[in-house]
Amino acid sequence: MLPNGGLMFPRRRIAAPLLAACTAALLTLTACGGGPDPARGPTGAPAEVAIATSGTWITTFAPLWAAAPEMAEIEQKYGTTISYPGFGKGNDALTAMLGGSAAVCNCSFNTALKAALAKDQLAYVVNINKGAGTVAVAATRFETERGTDIAAFDGGTWGFTSAGSISEISLRLAAEHAGIDWSVQDTIAVGGMSAFVPALQSGRVDIAMMDVASAAQAIEDGVGYPVLNTNDLSVFGPIGGTLLGNGLVLPEAFLNDYPELSQDLVNAVVTGLGRVRDVTDPDELLALMPPGFREARADSPTFAREWAFTRPAFLSTDGSSSDQEFRDTTAHGDFGEGELSSPRAGRFLDNSLVDQAYQQLGLPRPVVEPQSTP
């Protein structure tokens, strides 16, 4: 059961007492002791707002990168600098925020919720993408014989990054939905994302659940072919439900200390989401992006595949998150019933800033088609 009889409502932001902020383990932007007190800019905002994220210029986070003009306006308005320190894993990005070296985290929903339930006062304030953000790719040698029939890979070797990762979870869900007993399959944790293509090419794995960039590269190199795109919820929704991917996670102390800055950050991401969600042409998408992103996507044919895989993840979100999506997402995480019914879980998902963003920006709210729960 979720709080409030199974329902979550967008919260009206009320400043928490400073004592409550001081008792939290992350004291990222408060001066109550036990954590860093960052330098302030001329407007009283932090001199730097670091948004920790997993990886740099990841296409799945396109709305964040497309919001560069709005982020520049925020820098000028508050006399601050916005940076995007990249980390190899989402857990490392979250740790950076909890430790005070970043103000905000672009984090996966379940990863941040687990931290919030443990000890920290955090809020998930805007969703960037929905779906698992992965693509199942099989070795080219199986294309004629097995095609996209996942059941045909029963008894084969299945690859993912690490145990408990979204790549393992989404691959297991796809296999079980196809009637496969996952517990008896030969599975390999390849480690980092860079290991996917070599593992497929060498025959170490028969099918792997990859990030979209690795999937595009494997197909372009001719070593693999696509079997299932988890970003397309018309396909993956019946398998795993609507999964909340990544979004901005803020410490409640930051929200309370900088309510206007927090709102402006969400407004920027909502604007970026609207900017990219209807773009089908990959070259047009690249033209919207900062130079760093364009430089990282110099191979146009590969990026075209990558964008085709990624774009559906934005069509299924307007930046908000529903109760049903909360249930779908946490169902695949390591959560107890007591944890999900706790007040901390009820506070974590906060749609109020997204709702306010559409009002302040005067943007029409896109129609998002709900997906069926498996």
Give the pLDDT confidence of 70-91 residue by residue, as tens digits. Answer: 999 999 999 999 999 998 778 8
Q: Kindly state whether residue 98 falls inside one of the protein's structural domains.
A: yes
Please indicate, yes or no, whether residues 312 and 187 belong to a single structural domain of this protein: no
Give the distance, in angstroms, between the CA of residue 346 and the centroid of all CA atoms in the same chain.
Answer: 20
Higher-confidence position of 172 and 30 = 172
Largest Cα–Cα separation, the chain = 65
Predicted local distance difference test score (pLDDT) of residue 163 = 87
CA distance 203 to 156: 11
Please indicate, yes or no, whether residues 219 and 165 belong to a single structural domain of this protein: yes
Which residues have CB under 8 Å from 73's CB, separation 6+? none
Closest-CA residue to 290 (of 80, 8, 83, 15): 83
pLDDT tens per residue, range 88-122: 778 899 999 999 999 999 999 999 999 999 988 99
Q: Kindly state whether residue 369 falls inside one of the protein's structural domains.
A: no
Please indicate, yes or no, whether residues 198 and 284 belong to a single structural domain of this protein: no
Please indicate, yes or no, whether residues 126 and 195 belong to a single structural domain of this protein: no
Which residues have CB under 8 Å from 168's CB, separation 6+? 160, 161, 162, 187, 189, 209
Please indicate, yes or no, whether residues 223 and 119 belong to a single structural domain of this protein: no
Amino acid identity of 125?
Answer: V
CA distance 149 to 178: 8
Task: Print the SS3 string covering 7-20.
Answer: CCCCCCCCCCCHHH
CA distance 293 to 288: 10
Tokens of 117: 């339930």
CA distance 49 to 80: 7
CA distance 130 to 127: 8
| Geometric angle at alpha carbon 21, from 19 and 24, rounded to 5° | 110
pTM for this prediction: 0.84
Average confidence (pLDDT) over 250-273: 97
Average confidence (pLDDT) over 132-139: 96
Predicted local distance difference test score (pLDDT) of residue 1 = 39
Kindly report the length of the chain.
374
Domains: count for the chain: 2
Tokens of 242: 């609507």
Average confidence (pLDDT) over 264-271: 98
CA distance 59 to 311: 9
The CATH number of the domain holding residue 301 is 3.40.190.10
pLDDT averaged over every residue in the chain = 87
Closest-CA residue to 119 (of 52, 50, 48, 34): 34
Q: Is 188 helix (H, G, I), strand (E, B) or coil?
A: strand
Q: Which of 24-28, 200-204, 253-257, 282-286 has the lowest mean pLDDT?
A: 24-28
CA distance 141 to 147: 10
H or E element: which one contains 324? helix 323-330
Q: Which of 32-46, 59-73, 178-192, 359-373 has the lowest mean pLDDT?
A: 32-46
Please indicate, yes or no, whether residues 250 and 127 belong to a single structural domain of this protein: yes
Predicted local distance difference test score (pLDDT) of residue 176 = 97
Domain that holds residue 26: 3-131+244-361
